[in-house]
Amino acid sequence: MKQRLTVIAPVYNESECLEEFYSQLKSVLDKENMVWDVIFVNDGSKDNSQIILQDIRRHHSNVKVIEFSRNFGHQVAVKAGLDHAHAEAVVIMDTDLQDAPEVIPEFIAKWREGFDVVYAVRAKRLGESVFKKWTASVFYRLMKNISKIDIPLDTGDFRLLSSRVVEGLRSINERSPFLRGLVSWMGYNQIGILVQRQSRFKGQTKYSLIKMLDLAWSGMTHFSDMPLHLCTALGLIVSIISVLWMCQSLYVRFVLNVTVPGWTSLMIAVLFLGSAQLLTLGIIGSYIGRIYDETRSRPLYLIKTWEGFEDEHTA
């Protein structure tokens, strides 16, 4: 019996890329000795992506489409695909063709050698600004130094996962999943392949600076308690400075017998201590907010429509 491969492709306002993406994907995977299908997860697109996906599905029986009730985010869309994938191997990739389908056979070859996770390492990043390349580089190196797990440098979500890794990810229901971190945390046999990240086929990136910063902060707070340790260190430093400042004030007043009006020094002290406290509370608040989010037990996503899952049932 042939092995089965499922491709998970999150979609958000990618109407210009979808047909070309499926065409290139089909051209590559039809040459593999595998049964394959693709799960498109429409993450609340506001363009006509859903119409195009339905049209592709009408012409190709191996296409499945999940449509969210609203935009839940890229990582949640990938998680939904994983929840509904039933194959020996699963590939996660975006539909803008920055992740080249031609790399998938290399993933499959490494998987057949016995690796559970095969991820793409971005040797080059075409079509991206210097600022985006720099911020991505800083983020991955920062995560590597502060995280308790070893997240590979310069990697995204483009990767192949074995069925047991997928099964493990299904059992994790974090509200704000950081999948590349979770995959590293799981362990198993993992290997990277150097690839050249392509320019977008068409359209603009849907990951704004705010979304990138949110994803970066999510990764840090999920896999590192270093920010909390920094709060402790900052509090200690501020305490030492405050004590020295107090001693200096007492010395000036009672030893040198100099009367100091004190308004300037008082304002500096108040502003310094206030800003340190607010920064510390903000970091602690982020962790408390994640705890609160987890305890509400809301569903991770809601499905509006789904097609191609005739033999399955919604959870």
Handedness of CA 126, 118, 173, 299 (dihedral sign): positive
Percent with pLDDT over 70 in the chain: 58
Return d(Cα 152, Cα 5) in angstroms, integer.
24
- What pLDDT does 212 receive? 64
Domain ranges of the chain: 3-129+156-204+298-307, 226-295
Residue 307 in this model has a pLDDT that exceeds 80: yes
- Per residue in 223-278, pLDDT (tens digit) is 666 666 666 667 667 667 766 666 766 666 666 666 556 655 665 666 667 766 76
Following DSSP, what letter does each residue of 192-222 receive, concatenated?
A: EEEEEEPPPSSS--S--HHHHHHHHHHHHHH
Return d(Cα 202, Cα 166) in angstroms, integer.
30
CA distances, 159 to each of 50, 156, 171, 184 (Å): 25, 8, 19, 12
Burial 159-186 (b: 16+ CB within 10 A, else e): bbbbbebbebbeeeebebbbbbbbbbbb
Confidence of residue 121 (pLDDT cuts 50, 70, 90): confident
Q: Which residues, in sequence order, are bridge partners of residue 197? A: 125
Residue 218 in this model has a pLDDT that exceeds 80: no
Give the global pTM. Answer: 0.65
Mean pLDDT value across the chain = 77
Q: Say if residues 166 and 95 touch (Cβ distance below 8 Å).
A: no
Q: What is the Cα 128 distance to its own chain's centre?
A: 18
- What pLDDT does 116 receive? 92
* Structural fold of domain 3-129+156-204+298-307: Spore Coat Polysaccharide Biosynthesis Protein SpsA; Chain A (3.90.550)
